[in-house]
Chains A and B, each alone.
Chain A
Amino acid sequence: MRRAAYEHTRSFASRINSFQLPNIEREFLRYGLVAVLFIGVAFAILIQIVHIQLSDDGEIFRQNIQNLETVYHTFYPGRGDIYDKNGHLLAGSRQVYEVAVDLYYVRNAQTIAIVLSNAMRDHVGYDRAEYYFEVLEKASRQPTNETNYLVVADYVTDDELAMIKEIAAGYLYGSESNTSETPPSLSGLVYRPRLQRIYPEKDLASNLLGFTDWDGNGLYGLELSYNGHLAGQPFTRVFSVDPLAADEMPEVEKGGDVILTITREIQAAVEDILDRAVNNSGATAGTIVVMNPQNGEILAMTSSRRMDLNRYYDFPEIINSSLPYNMPFGQTYEPGSVFKVLTMAAALDSGTVTPETTYIDTGYIEIGGIPIYNWNYGAWGEQNMTGCLQHSLNVCMVTLAQKMTPTIFYNYMRNFGIGRTSGMDLYGEPSGRLKLPGDKDWFESDLGTNSFGQGVAVTPIQMLAAISALANDGQMVQPHVVQAYVKGGRQYTTQNTPLGSPIKAETARTLSEMLAISLEEEASDALVEGYRVSGKTGTAQIPTPTGYHPSLTNASFVGWGPTDDPQIMVYIWLQEPTSSPWGSVVAAPVFAEVFQRVAVLTNLPPDSVRIQLNGPTVKLDIPGAAP
Chain B
Amino acid sequence: MNRPIYKAESAAGDSQAAAAGSEHTTQTSGQRPHERKRNSATAGEGSTRSRTPTSKRRLADDRAPWRVQMQVTGTVLLVFVAVAIVALFYLNVSAKTAALGRLIQFYTVRLDGPHRVNAEDPEGTIIPIEEIDIRIAGLRAELAELTSLERMEARAQAMGFEPLGTESIIFLEVPGYQPRGAISLAPPPAAQVASASSILPIYRPSLIDELGQGWSGLVDKIMALVIQSEEVQP
Contact = CB atoms under 8 A, between A and B. Distances in A.
Contacts of A609: 171
A194 B131 CA distance: 8
A73 B5 CA distance: 86
Nearest to A74: B109
Given A85-B182, A95-B135, A202 B118 contact: no
B188 A243 contact: no
B44 to A, nearest CB: 23
B101 A245 contact: yes
Given A600-B166, A605-B171, A613-B171, A190 B130 contact: no
Contacts of A486: 185-186
A152 to B, nearest CB: 11
Interface residues of B, number: 68
Contacts of B70: none
Interface in B49-64: 63
Contact of A100 (B5, B114, B173): B114
Contacts of B97: 243-244
A257 B185 contact: yes
A246 interface: yes
A223 to B, nearest CB: 15
B33, B134, B180 pick with most chain A CB within 10 angstroms: B134
Contacts of A245: 101
Nearest to B169: A600
B71 to A, nearest CB: 15
A490 B188 contact: yes
A616 to B, nearest CB: 16
A280 interface: no
A75 B187 CA distance: 26
Contact of A483 (B107, B145, B150, B182): B182
Interface residues of A, number: 83
B113 to A, nearest CB: 7
Contacts of A190: 113-117
A186 B117 contact: yes
Q: A-side binding surface: helix, strand, loop or mixed? A: mixed
B148 interface: yes
Nearest to B115: A191
Contacts of B180: 86
B41 interface: no
Contacts of A194: 134
Interface string A94-116: 11000110100000000000000
Interface string B74-109: 000000000000000000001001111110110111
Nearest to B105: A246
B120 interface: yes
A189 B113 CA distance: 12
A529 B110 CA distance: 63
B33, B107, B110, B150 pick with most chain A CB within 10 angstroms: B150
Given A202-B148, A491-B187, A189 B116 contact: yes
Given A73-B111, A189-B118, A600 B165 contact: yes
B148 to A, nearest CB: 5
Interface string B168-192: 0101010000011011111111100
Contacts of A254: 133, 137
Interface in A75-127: 75, 78, 81, 83, 85-89, 92-95, 99-100, 102
A44 interface: no
Contact of A248 (B116, B140, B197): B197
A17 interface: yes
B158 interface: no
B205 interface: no
Interface string A184-203: 01110111111100101110
Contact of A603 (B32, B94, B179): B179
A244 B101 contact: yes
Interface in A1-23: 1-2, 5, 9-10, 13-14, 17, 20
Given A92-B144, A93-B141, A491-B187, A201 B118 contact: no
A394 B113 CA distance: 73
A603 B174 CA distance: 13
Contacts of A195: 134, 137-138
A83 B147 CA distance: 14
A505 interface: no
Contacts of A41: none
Nearest to B35: A13
A252 interface: yes
B131 to A, nearest CB: 6
Contacts of B141: 89, 92-94, 198, 200
Interface in B13-68: 32-34, 63, 65
B130 A252 contact: yes
A235 to B, nearest CB: 12
A379 interface: no
Interface stretch (A164-172, A209-217, A329-337, A519-527): A164-172
B185 A83 contact: yes
B140 A241 contact: no
Contact of A78 (B105, B133, B144, B171): B133
13 contacts: A71-B111, A89-B143, A92-B137, A99-B117, A193-B135, A246-B108, A248-B198, A252-B133, A254-B133, A254-B137, A493-B188, A600-B164, A613-B173
Given A198-B141, A603-B179, 18 more contacts: A9-B32, A89-B144, A99-B117, A165-B122, A172-B120, A186-B118, A190-B113, A193-B131, A198-B145, A241-B111, A243-B100, A243-B101, A244-B98, A252-B133, A254-B133, A490-B188, A490-B189, A491-B184
Interface of B: 1-2, 5, 32-34, 63, 65, 94, 97-102, 104-105, 107-111, 113-118, 120, 122, 129-131, 133-135, 137-138, 140-145, 147-150, 164-166, 169, 171, 173, 179-180, 182-190, 197-199
